[in-house]
C-alpha cells in the first residue's frame, strides 16, 4: 500500500471512529429517555485500491444497528396511565386521530389525555362545538389505537390496522334511557330491571306478615322499590304473597304477579313454585314493566321472629357517567361509572415484527415499519401463546449501559488518536520524500 493509500486509510479510520463517538454521545444523552434503544456501531473491512498500480488495501467502515430487541429495566411509577412492555412488541399509534397519518410503533408507555372538540355538537347554536372528548396519546402527541369493545364488553382482535380505533374516553353527561351507541363510553344509559333475586329467610317461629323492600330500575331509568309481603300459615308451611309499588310521584300503581302462593318442605326449602320463579308486572303510566322475582334462595327456618335478608341482586341500573378509567394487565382500558357499573372500553394490541432491529427510529420514541423489519402482526395479551406482559404503573427504562458506553468511548478515543498518528507519520514520510529533491 502506497503512502496515498495510507492517507486514505487513516482519514477513513478517523471518520469512522468519529461516527462511533457520535453514537456513543447519543446513547449517553438518552440514558434517561423512556424506552430508548441504544444504537451501536459495527466495524467492517472496506476494500480499496489505488490506480494504476491496482494494489488493493483494506480500510474500515461503520455499520449502525439499534438494539430494539434488548429489554430495558422496568421502573415503577405508580401512575395509572404508565404502561411498561415486558417482552417483545410495540403499542400502536397514529399521527392523526382519523388514522390518516403515519402508523407509528412505540414502547414508551407514558400515556396522556388530549381534549378534542367533537364535530357536530353545537347544541346552543353559537358556532362552537359543545362536547369534548379525551383521546389517549403518547408523549409526542401520537394517538393511541386499540380494539373497541362491543356492547357486551368483548373484543374482536383482528390482525389488521383497519380494525383499530383511537382510544377515546370522556366524562360527558348521559341521558337516562338514551342509546348506548351514541354515548358509550362517556356514559352508560339506564337498564330496566328484568330479574330480582332475593336471598332471605322467612321466620318459621313467628306468624303474621313479614315484608321486604326490593330495589328496581324502571323503564324510564328511575330507581324504585317493590314491597313484597309474606303472610304465613306455619302449620301448612305455606305463605301468601302481596306486592305494592309507588310511581315517581309517590302514587300507588297496580302490581300483578303469579303464582301468589309459596310452599316449603319440612327442611325449610321452597317446593312451590318448583322453579322458584315469580312473574311480576307493574302497571306504570308509560306502559307495563315485567320482570322475574327469583326466590330459589328463600328459606323458611326458625329465626329471630322476622324476615332476615342475606342478599338482594337485581340486574337493572340507573344512567351513569364515566368517573374513572384504568388499565389491567391484559391492556384493557376499563371504565368505572357513577352507577357502580364497570365496562371494558378498549384493548391495546401488541404489534410485533420479525426483525425489530430493522425498524426506522424517529423523533418521539417511535419507530416506523420498513421492508427489512418484516410484516407486522397484531395480537392481544392474555392469549395462551402470548409472552409479552403489560405492567401497569411502570415504564421501561433506556437499555443504555453507561459503563459499556464509557468503555467504548475510551477505546474509540484511542483508535482515533492512533489513526491520527498514522496520518501525521505518513505526512512526515511524504515530507521526507519531498526533501530528497533538494
pTM of the predicted model as reported, rounded to 2 decimal places: 0.77
> How far is residue 119 from each of residues 115, 129, 316, 399, measured CA to CA in Å?
13, 6, 33, 42
Among 57-71, 187-201, 311-325, name the one with the lowest average pLDDT. Answer: 57-71
Grid coordinates representing 255? 302490581
The pLDDT, as a whole number, for residue 50 is: 53
d(CA 241, CA 231): 6
Among 47-61, 359-373, 406-420, name the one with the lowest average pLDDT. Answer: 47-61
DSSP E strand boundaries for 298-349: 298-301, 308-314, 320-327, 332-337, 342-347
On average, the pLDDT of the chain sits at 86
Q: Which fold has domain 198-275+292-314?
A: Tick-borne Encephalitis virus Glycoprotein; domain 1 (2.60.98)
CATH 2.60.98.20 region(s) of the chain?
198-275+292-314
What percent of the chain is modeled with pLDDT above 90?
59
Short-list 96, 214, 225, CA closest to 164? 96
DSSP 43-73: EEEEEEEETTTTEEEEEEEEEEEE-TTSPPP
Residue 69 and residue 357 in contact, taking contact as beta carbons nearer than 8 Å: yes
Q: How confident is the model at residue 125 (pLDDT cuts 50, 70, 90)?
A: low
* DSSP symbol at 398: P
What percent of the chain is modeled with pLDDT above 70?
88
Residue 90 and residue 367 in contact, taking contact as beta carbons nearer than 8 Å: yes
Is the per-residue pLDDT at 179 higher than 60?
Answer: no
Is the per-residue pLDDT at 180 higher than 50?
Answer: no
The pLDDT, as a whole number, for residue 183 is: 40
> How far is residue 238 from each of residues 36, 180, 266, 273, measured CA to CA in Å?
74, 44, 11, 11
The pLDDT, as a whole number, for residue 383 is: 65
d(CA 373, CA 352): 10
Q: How far is CA 127 from the centre of its chain?
A: 35
The pLDDT, as a whole number, for residue 52 is: 52
Q: pLDDT per residue over 40-87, tens digit each?
A: 988 877 776 555 555 556 777 778 889 999 999 999 999 999 999 999
Phi-psi region of 378 (alpha: psi -120 to 50; beta: other; left: phi over 0): beta
Amino acid at each position: 500500500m502506497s503512502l496515498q493509500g495510507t492517507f486514505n486509510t487513516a482519514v477513513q479510520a478517523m471518520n469512522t471512529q468519529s461516527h462511533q463517538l457520535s453514537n456513543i454521545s447519543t446513547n449517553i444523552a438518552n440514558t434517561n429517555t423512556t424506552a430508548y434503544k441504544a444504537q451501536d456501531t459495527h466495524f467492517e473491512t472496506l476494500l480499496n485500491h489505488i490506480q494504476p498500480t491496482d494494489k488493493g488495501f483494506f480500510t474500515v467502515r461503520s455499520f449502525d444497528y439499534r438494539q430494539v430487541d434488548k429489554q430495558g429495566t422496568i421502573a415503577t411509577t405508580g401512575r395509572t396511565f404508565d404502561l411498561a412492555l415486558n417482552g417483545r412488541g410495540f403499542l400502536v399509534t397514529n399521527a392523526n386521530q382519523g388514522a390518516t397519518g403515519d402508523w407509528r410503533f412505540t414502547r414508551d408507555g407514558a400515556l396522556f389525555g388530549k381534549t378534542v372538540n367533537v364535530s357536530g355538537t353545537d347544541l346552543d347554536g353559537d358556532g362552537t362545538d359543545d362536547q369534548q372528548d379525551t383521546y389517549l396519546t403518547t408523549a409526542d402527541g401520537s394517538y393511541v389505537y386499540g380494539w373497541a369493545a362491543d356492547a357486551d364488553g368483548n373484543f374482536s382482535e383482528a390482525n389488521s390496522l383497519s380494525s383499530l380505533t383511537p382510544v377515546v374516553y370522556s366524562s360527558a353527561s348521559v341521558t337516562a334511557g338514551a342509546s348506548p351507541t351514541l354515548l358509550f363510553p362517556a356514559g352508560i344509559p339506564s337498564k330496566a330491571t328484568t330479574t330480582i333475586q332475593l336471598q332471605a329467610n322467612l321466620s318459621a317461629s313467628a306468624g303474621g306478615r313479614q315484608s321486604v323492600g326490593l330495589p328496581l330500575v324502571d323503564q324510564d331509568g328511575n330507581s324504585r322499590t317493590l314491597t313484597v309481603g309474606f303472610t304465613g300459615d306455619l302449620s301448612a308451611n305455606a305463605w301468601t304473597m302481596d306486592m305494592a309499588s309507588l310511581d315517581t310521584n309517590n302514587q300507588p300503581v297496580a302490581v300483578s304477579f303469579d303464582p301468589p302462593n309459596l310452599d316449603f318442605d319440612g327442611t325449610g326449602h321452597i317446593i312451590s313454585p318448583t322453579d322458584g320463579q315469580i312473574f311480576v308486572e307493574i302497571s306504570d303510566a308509560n306502559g307495563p314493566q315485567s320482570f322475574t322475582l327469583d326466590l330459589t334462595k328463600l328459606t323458611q327456618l326458625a329465626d329471630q321472629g322476622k324476615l332476615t335478608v342475606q342478599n338482594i341482586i337485581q340486574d337493572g341500573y340507573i344512567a351513569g357517567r364515566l368517573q374513572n378509567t384504568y388499565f389491567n394487565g391484559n391492556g384493557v382500558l376499563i371504565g368505572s361509572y357513577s352507577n357502580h357499573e364497570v365496562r371494558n372500553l378498549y384493548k391495546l394490541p401488541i404489534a410485533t415484527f420479525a426483525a425489530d432491529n430493522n425498524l426506522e427510529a424517529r423523533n418521539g420514541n417511535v419507530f416506523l415499519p420498513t421492508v427489512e423489519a418484516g410484516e407486522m402482526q397484531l395480537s392481544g395479551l392474555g392469549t395462551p401463546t402470548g409472552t409479552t406482559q403489560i405492567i401497569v404503573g411502570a415504564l421501561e427504562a433506556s437499555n443504555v449501559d453507561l459503563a459499556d458506553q464509557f468503555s467504548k468511548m475510551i477505546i474509540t478515543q484511542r483508535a482515533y488518536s492512533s489513526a491520527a498518528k498514522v496520518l501525521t507519520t505518513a505526512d512526515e514520510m511524504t515530507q521526507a520524500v519531498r526533501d530528497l529533491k533538494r
